Amino acid sequence: MKSEQSSLFDAVLAAHARYGTAEGGANASYIPFLAGVPSNLAAIAAMTVDGAICAAGDADYAFALESISKVCTLALAMEDVGPDAVREKIGVDPTGLPFNSVMALELHNGKPLSPLVNAGAMATVSLLRASNNEERWQRVLDMQSALAGSPVTLSDEVNKSEQATNFHNRAIAWLLSSADSMFCDPMDACDVYTRQCSTLVTTRQLASMAATLAAQGRSPVTGRQVLKCEHVPCVLAEMTMEGLYERSGDWAYTVGVPAKSGVGGGIMAVVPGVMGLAAFSPPLDDAGNSVRGQLMVADVAKALGLSLFDRR
C-alpha cells in the first residue's frame, strides 16, 4: 500500500508540474466575482477511500463550488424522493447542449433531462423535502459539508455577485414552472440553487467529496454514511452522462471516469472503490470546464490506468 500511495503522490505531482501552467481558456466572466479570481491558480488533490490524501499546488485556496454543487443536491434528492422520482420528473439523459440552454427545454416539452444542467438542478432543489426555503437551503449546505467531511460555508460575496446577475436562471425557473417541471416556488428554487453554487471549497475538500462517492457514500474522513450506497451508482451514471456538459462524451472516451465541473474552475472525478480526484484552475473551455483541471485529472487517470472502461 505504501508504494501504491507514493505512486499516487508521484502522479499528482507530475500532473501539476506538466499542466499547472498550461495555456488556454478564460475565467467565467458572466459572474463578476469569478472574472476577478487569479487565473494562474492551479491545484490537484487525490483522496483514497481509506482517507489518505495528497495534493499539489494551491490546494488550500477556497474557490466557488458552482455546478459541482449539483451533485450534492442530486444526492440529497435521491435520499428524499428516490432515484425513480428523479428519473421520471427530471430525467437522466445528456442534453448535448450548454448547461444553461433554453433550447434544451424547448426541445423536450419543458423536461430538464438532467439534474446536472441548470434547469434540472433547480428542479432538483424543488423536489427536496422542506417546510420552508431556509430549511431547504440548510439541508443543501449540510449535504455539501457531509460529503466533504468538513464544514462548507457560503460566500456572501459570491452569492451577492450571482444573485445580482442570475436573470437567465430565473427565466429558466419560470419556464420550468410553466411546463409543470418545478415542484416548489420557482424563485425559491432559483435562490437556493444560486446559494448552493456560491459556497467555497478547497481542492482538498473537493477530493474528499469525490472520495465519499468513491467509498460508496461513506465519508473516509468522518466515517459517516452520507448517502445510501445504492444511490451512488445513479449519481455516478449521471456524472458520466452530463458532468462535463457537451464534453461529457469526449471525457468518457478519453479519460473514462465520472466527473463534474463548475465554472469556478473546480472539477472532481470518482474512481469507484479506489479514490476521489479533484483539481482547480479558473480558466475554462467553451463548455465551462477548467482547462488545466481536465488536463491534470486526465494525466493522473492515464498514469495510474484508472479508466472504468479499461479493465485489462
Q: Which is nearer to ligand GLN, 148 or 172 (CB)?
A: 172
Contact (CB, 8 A) for 1 and 261 = no
3-state secondary structure of 279: strand
Residue 239 CA to its chain's centroid (Å): 8
CB atoms within 10 A of CB 150: 16
User: Under the criterion CB under 6 A, does residue 99 sit at the interface with ligand GLN?
Assistant: yes
263 binds ligand GLN (CB under 6 A): yes
Return the amino acid letter for 165: T
**Could you tell me which residues are beta bridge partners of residue 53?**
47
Q: 99 or 183, CB closer to ligand GLN?
A: 99
The answer to whether residue 266 forms part of the interface with ligand GLN (CB under 6 A) is no
Nearer to ligand GLN, 6 or 153 (CB): 153
Contact (CB, 8 A) for 235 and 209 = no
| Binds ligand GLN by CB under 6 A, chosen from 120, 256, 282, 288 | 288
Give me the residue label for grid cell 479533484.
Answer: 278
Site size toward ligand GLN (CB under 6 A) is 11
If one asks whether residue 118 binds ligand GLN (CB under 6 A), the answer comes out as yes
Instruction: Note whether 100 binds ligand GLN by CB under 6 A.
Output: yes
Q: Check binding of 169 to ligand GLN (CB under 6 A).
A: yes
**Cβ at position 7, least distance to ligand GLN in Å:** 32
User: Strand, helix or coil at 168?
Assistant: helix
Examine residue 48 and tell whether it contacts ligand GLN (CB under 6 A): no
In this complex, which beta carbon is closest to ligand GLN, that of residue 167 or of residue 309? 167
Query: According to the binding rule CB under 6 A, does residue 257 interact with ligand GLN?
Result: no
* Residue 225 identity (one-letter amino acid): Q
Q: Are strands 153-154 and 43-48 parallel, antiparallel or unpaired?
A: unpaired
Residue for grid cell 431547504 = 136
CA 219 to chain centroid: 17
- 238 near ligand GLN, judged by CB under 6 A: no
DSSP character at residue 288: S
- Lay out the site mask for ligand GLN across 128-167 (x = CB under 6 A, - = otherwise): ----------------------------------x-----
C-alpha cell at 310: 479499461
Chain residues in the site for ligand GLN (CB under 6 A)? 66-67, 99-100, 118, 162, 169, 197, 262-263, 288
